[in-house]
Structure 1
Amino acid sequence: MALVDVSHQLWPGMPKIPILPEVERHQVARIADGAPLNISAITLALHVGTHIDAPAHAVDGAKTIDELPIERFAGTGVVAKVDRKPGEEITVDDVLAGGPAPRRGEFLLVATGWSERFLSPDYADHPSLSPDLAAWCVEQGVPFVGVDMITPDLPVHRRGEGFDYPVHRTLLGAEVLIAENLTDLEGLGGRRVHVHAYPLAIRGGDAGPARVVVDTDLPDGETR
C-alpha cells in the first residue's frame, strides 16, 4: 500500500472559522504529578480542521454522522487538480480537465493547492465550487466530495445578503458527504485513488473530525 495522509493535525490555537471556539487541550492527569498514567482531553468544534459534514449540517432532521453506514466513508475516487483564484468558481469543465471523470459511485477530491495557505490569513479567501458543479455531482452519482479549503461554498467575506450555502445544501440535501480542510492533494492531482475517510461516530453529530488517507495503489481491475 502507498498511503498518503491528507488530513491536518489538531492543536490548540489552530486556524478555524472565527465564530467557532478555540481548540483547547487539557491535561487531566500527569505521571509527573504522581498519576499512574498521562491523560489529556480536548475541546473541539466539529467543523475545525479536517472533518466530514453529515447531511444534518445543512438539512434539519437529516442523517447525523453516526447514522451513516461505515461503507459511506471509503471508496475509489478521482483527484481533480484545478487552478482558480480567490472568489472564482470551480466548474464542471475544471474538474474534467483536472483528472479522470468520476464514475458513478466514485468520490471526487478537488485539489486547489489552498492547503499551503492553512497557516496564513489568505486561507480564508479561497475559490469555491460552483452550484452547477454541485448539481452535476449529484446527477453523476458522486457520493462524496472533498476539498482542500475551509468550505466548498463562497468565502465568508464574499457572501451577499441572504446567502444560503447553495453547495452545502445541494450536496448534503442529496446525501453527498463533504470533507473540508484536506491537505497535500496537489501531488495526487489527475489520479484515480482509493479514499479512506473515517469520521468519529459522534452521536447526533452534524459532522465528525476525520483522519483521511488516500491509497495510491489501486486494487486489481481498477485503473488510473
Structure 2
Amino acid sequence: MSVIDLSHPIRTGMTVFPGDPEVRVEPALSIAEAGVSVLSVELGSHTGTHIDAPSHTVEGGATIDAVDLGRLIGPARVVDVSGLPPRTRISVDDVREALREVGPGDIVLFRTGWSARFDEPGYADHPFLDAGIASALLDAGVTVVGVDALNPDETVADDPAPALPFHDVFLGAGGLIIENLTGLDRVTARAPRFVGLPLPIAGGDGAPLRAVIIED
C-alpha cells in the first residue's frame, strides 16, 4: 500500500486567500521551561489544504461538523488540466471526455499543476473552472470536488466580495469543495482511494483537512 499526502504543511506566513486571517504558529510552552512542548496556532477556517462546507457561501447551508465523513472517503478521479496559462477559464468542453468516466461516489480532483507555485506571488493567478463544470459534476452524481489551486473560481484579489459562480452552483447543491491540494502529479492509479478528514469545527463553514491518496 502506498500513501500519497496531498496536504500543504501549516506554517507561519503561508499563503491564504486574500482577506483571510494570516497563519501564525509559534511556541507557547517549552520542555525546558514547562516540561512539555506546546505550539500556539492561529489560522482561519480555510487555511492551507481545506474543505468548504455549503455554509461557506450558502445562507443556512450545512456546516462542516454536519458533513457525513463517508462522503470524503472513496474512489478518486484525477482530471489533468495542467500546462495552461495563468487565469485560463477551463470549460466543460475541455474536460467533457474525462468526465465521462465519473459517477456517483467519485471524488473528482482537478490537477492544474498550480500547487508548484504555492507561496509564490503568482499563485492567485491560477486557471479556474467554469460553473458549467460544477453542473456537469452534479449531473453525474459527484458531490465532492477538489483542486490543486487556491480556488476553483477565479481569484480576484482586490474585490472584497468576488463572484464565485462555481461555489454558488456546487455548494448550493450541497456539494463539498476541497482547495489547495498538492501532489496530484504523484497519483498514478486509475481510481485510487481518497481520504480527506476535516477538523470537526462546531458550526464551521470549512476546515483544514489532511488529504491523502491510498494506492494498493
Which band: TM-score by shorter chain?
over 0.9
Alignment of 1:12-161 (within 5 A): 12-33=12-33, 35-83=34-82, 84-97=84-97, 101-157=101-157
Is the CA contact (8 Å cut-off) linking 2:7 and 2:181 kept in structure 1?
A: yes
Is the CA contact (8 Å cut-off) linking 2:4 and 2:187 kept in structure 1?
A: no
Q: Distance in 2 between matches of 1:51 and 1:202?
A: 12
Higher mean displacement: 125-134 or 69-78:
69-78
Partner AA of 1:85 in structure 2? P
Matched length: 215
Q: Distance in 2 between matches of 1:127 and 1:14?
A: 20
User: How far off is 1:55 after superposition?
Assistant: 0.5
Is the CA contact (8 Å cut-off) linking 1:80 and 1:191 kept in structure 2?
A: no
Q: Name the SS of the counterpart of 2:39 in structure 1.
A: strand
User: How far off is 1:67 after superposition?
Assistant: 0.7
TM-score normalized by structure 1?
0.89
TM-score normalized by structure 2?
0.92
User: How far off is 1:185 after superposition?
Assistant: 0.7
Alignment correspondent of 1:220: none
User: How far off is 1:36 after superposition?
Assistant: 2.3
Identity of aligned residues (%): 40
| Unaligned 5+ runs, structure 2 | none
Partner AA of 2:78 in structure 1? V
Is the CA contact (8 Å cut-off) linking 1:77 and 1:102 kept in structure 2?
A: no
* Alignment of 1:10 onto 2:10: yes
Alignment correspondent of 1:177: 176
| Residue-by-residue CA offset, 1:24-74 (whole Å, 9 max, x unaligned) | 1232221112x1211112001011200000000010111100011221211
Is the CA contact (8 Å cut-off) linking 1:99 and 1:191 kept in structure 2?
A: no
Partner AA of 2:132 in structure 1? D
* Alignment of 1:203 onto 2:202: yes
Q: Distance in 1 between matches of 2:124 and 2:188?
A: 22
Q: Distance in 2 between matches of 1:62 and 1:31?
A: 43
4+ aligned runs moved over 6 Å, structure 1: none
Distance 1:100 1:188, change over 3 A: farther
